[in-house]
Amino acid sequence: MITPCIYMFLSLRMILQKEGPRSLFRGLGPNLVGVAPSRAIYFAAYSNCKEKMNNIFNPDSTQVHMISAGVAGFTAITTTNPIWLVKTRLQLDARNRGEKRMSAFECVRKVYRSDGIKGFYRGMSASYAGISETVIHFVIYESIKRKLLECKTASAMDNEDESAKEASDFVGMMMAAATSKTCATSIAYPHEVVRTRLREEGTKYRSFFQTLSLLVREEGYGSLYRGLTTHLIRQIPNTAIMMSTYEVVVYLLDG
Q: Determine the straight-line distance between the first and last CA of the chain, rounded to whole angstroms.
A: 44
28, pLDDT greater than 80? no
The one-letter amino acid at 125: S
Cα–Cα distance for residue pair 7/231, rounded to 1 Å:
13
pLDDT confidence of residue 203: 76
pLDDT confidence of residue 108: 92
The helix-helix angle for 2-19 and 228-254 (nearest 10°) equals: 90
The model's confidence at residue 1, banded by pLDDT at 50, 70 and 90, is: very low
161, pLDDT greater than 60? no
pLDDT confidence of residue 163: 53
Higher pLDDT, 190 or 249: 190
Higher pLDDT, 176 or 12: 176
Cα–Cα distance for residue pair 170/3, rounded to 1 Å:
34
Q: Are 139 and 69 in contact (CB under 8 A)?
A: yes
Cα–Cα distance for residue pair 46/73, rounded to 1 Å:
8
44, pLDDT greater than 70? yes
In angstroms, the Cα distances linking 46 to 39, 42, 135, 166 are 10, 6, 11, 25
User: Among 70-74, 200-204, 208-212, where is mean pLDDT lowest?
Assistant: 200-204
The model's confidence at residue 24, banded by pLDDT at 50, 70 and 90, is: confident
Cα–Cα distance for residue pair 67/51, rounded to 1 Å:
11
Q: Are 102 and 29 in contact (CB under 8 A)?
A: no
User: Among 16-20, 28-32, 48-52, 80-84, where is mean pLDDT lowest?
Assistant: 28-32
Arithmetic mean of pLDDT, 70-93? 90
Percent residues over pLDDT 90 in the chain = 49
Cα–Cα distance for residue pair 8/80, rounded to 1 Å:
28
The model's confidence at residue 152, banded by pLDDT at 50, 70 and 90, is: confident
- The pTM of the full predicted model, rounded to 2 decimals, is 0.78
Arithmetic mean of pLDDT, 133-154? 90
